[in-house]
């Protein structure tokens, strides 16, 4: 049975509400603010990688929109690839990282890598991925996150580039999903019920 997404405007609160499966989400961050933050991050990265040939690694599935937007702000001379790791089921992290699609180790050895992540909350997935990259022989690893939830962090991890710091809400949109839904929205919504 197919699940449909409904969009309605709550005139009392003057904000958009979307329903995904059994949950309601309210407008949280508009596309314009997201793109402005990504543009700033791209400028910071471009400044820092002068003279380098970094490999950009987008973390699927959530970071595909962040990676596309960020890379469109950089010169087309950089290599982009994707990897997939997961620790979420529904709205909760399982706390165990699954390696679904790792980057080929021969593509990593001796390279500077910039990881592109949609959101860092507990930090456990990125902590795991960064450790795996060092083990594969990279020369340097930097971490760029579209969103960062510092109050949710459960490990020693500090992103090098952060688009926006946000609260510890469950969010969807701009690549982030709830059981596969909501990913393609250009705005970000947070769960309300």
Determine contact, residues 18/7, Cβ cutoff 8 Å.
Answer: yes
Q: Which residues of 87-104 are buried (b: 16+ CB within 10 A; e: fewer)?
A: bbeeeebeeebeeeeebe
Q: Considering 121, 156, 160, 169, which one is annotated as catalytic?
A: 121
Mapping DSSP to helix (H, G, I), strand (E, B) and coil, where does residue 72 land?
helix
- Residue 88 is inside which H or E element, if any? strand 79-89
Cα 36 off chain centre by: 16
Burial 121-142 (b: 16+ CB within 10 A, else e): bbbbbbbbbbebbeebebeebb
Which ranges of the chain would DSSP assign to H, the alpha helix?
Answer: 31-48, 64-72, 105-108, 124-135
**CA-derived radius of gyration, the chain:** 17
Is 48 annotated as catalytic?
Answer: no
The span from the first CA to the last CA of the chain, in angstroms, equals 23
Element of type H or E holding 164: strand 161-165
Residues annotated as catalytic (active site), given as ranges: 121
């Amino acid at each position: 049975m197919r699940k449909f997404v409904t969009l309605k405007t709550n005139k009392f609160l003057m904000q958009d509400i979307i329903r995904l499966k059994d949950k309601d989400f309210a407008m949280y961050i508009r596309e314009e603010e997201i793109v402005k933050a990504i543009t700033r991050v791209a400028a910071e990265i471009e400044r820092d990688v002068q003279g380098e040939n970094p490999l950009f690694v987008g973390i699927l599935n959530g970071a595909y929109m962040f990676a596309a937007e960020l890379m469109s702000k950089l010169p087309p001379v950089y290599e982009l690839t994707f990897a997939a790791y997961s620790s979420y089921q529904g709205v909760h992290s399982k706390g165990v990282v699954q390696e679904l699609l790792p980057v080929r180790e021969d593509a990593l050895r001796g390279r500077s890598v910039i990881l592109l992540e949609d959101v860092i909350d507990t930090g456990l997935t990125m902590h795991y991925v960064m450790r795996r990259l060092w083990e594969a022989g990279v020369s340097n690893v930097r971490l760029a996150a579209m969103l960062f939830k510092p109050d949710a962090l459960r490990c020693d991890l500090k992103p090098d580039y952060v688009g926006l710091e946000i609260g510890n809400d469950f969010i969807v949109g701009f690549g982030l999903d709830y059981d596969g839904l909501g990913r393609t929205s250009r705005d970000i919504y947070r769960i309300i019920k």
